[in-house]
Amino acid sequence: MPIPGEPDAPKLWLVKTSNSSFVVEWSEPKSYGIPVIGFQLYIEGKKAGDMTEVSLRRAEIPSNINRTYEVNICALTNNPQRTRSVMSQTLSIVTAPTNHHNMIPLQIELINEEKLHMDWTSFLPMTEIRSYYIHYTCLNNGKVQTMKVSKRHRHAVRKIYESFLCVILFLKILRDLKPGFTYGIMVLAVDKDGGILYTSDRSTIQMSAPPNAPIVAIR
C-alpha cells in the first residue's frame, strides 16, 4: 500500500503587472493521498495574507513600481505531520511603471521552433536611454531572466544550438529557453542611473515544439 505524502509544490508564474499590483497564477499540485485544503503565498519569505481557497489559482498582490518582489507559494494540507508542500520555485517580479504614452512598441515573430525574432527599432524615445533590458519569465517553471542590450541593438534572434535554445544578441548568448515552453517577455529602457523610463507590453509566446522523429519499421 502506498504511503501518503505531502503534495508537490505548485508551479508559479506571473500573469501581468500594473502601477499598483501584480497578478500571479499557479498550477494544481500533484497529491499523494493527502488532500490539499488551500495555498499560502509568501513575499520575501513572509506570509502574504491568509490561506487562499483550494479552488482558486490566481491572486492579485499590491505592489509599488520600480521594485523587485520575490514570491513563493506552497500547498497546505490538514495533516498534522505533513502540513504543507515544499516551497515553489522563487518567482522574481520587476514592477515597472506602466504609462501607455511611453510604451515601447515590441514586435515578436516566432519563425519556427528554432528562432524567435524581437524588434523595437520603431521606438523613438523622448529622453536619453542608456540601455535596454529584455525581461522574460518561463511560465512552465517560473524561471526569470533579464538580459542587458546595448541601446544601438534593438532586435534579437533566438536560435537553437545542440538542442539548447539560445539568445543571440551580437555575440551575447544565453542558453536558457526550450522548445515547446511558454515565456512572458517584455523590454525595459533605463537611464544612466538604472531608473526605468519606458517599458513594452508583456507578451506571452509559446515556442514551437520540435517535430517528432519519424517512426521507421524494418520489414
Res. 174 pLDDT band, cuts 50 70 90 = very low
Q: Is residue 194 part of a domain?
A: yes
Write down the mean pLDDT value for the chain.
77
Asked whether residue 45 carries a pLDDT value surpassing 90, the answer given is: yes
Residue range(s) defining the domain that contains residue 83: 12-95
| CATH number of the domain bearing residue 175 | 2.60.40.10
In angstroms, rounded to a whole number, what is the distance separating the alpha carbons of residues 113 and 140?
17
Structurally, the chain folds into a number of domains equal to 2
pLDDT of residue 98: 60
Q: Is residue 3 part of a domain?
A: no
In angstroms, rounded to a whole number, what is the distance separating the alpha carbons of residues 148 and 136?
12
Let me know whether 74 and 120 are in one domain.
no
pLDDT of residue 2: 55
In angstroms, rounded to a whole number, what is the distance separating the alpha carbons of residues 108 and 205?
8
Q: Which tens digits make up the pLDDT trace of 72-125?
A: 999 999 999 999 999 999 988 888 666 555 688 888 776 555 566 778 877 777
Let me know whether 201 and 135 are in one domain.
yes
**Highest-pLDDT range among 8-17, 53-62, 159-168:** 53-62
Q: How much is the pTM?
A: 0.51
The SS3 call for residue 137 is strand
- Residues recorded for the chain: 219
Let me know whether 21 and 52 are in one domain.
yes
Contact 30, 8 (CB under 8 A): yes
pLDDT of residue 158: 42
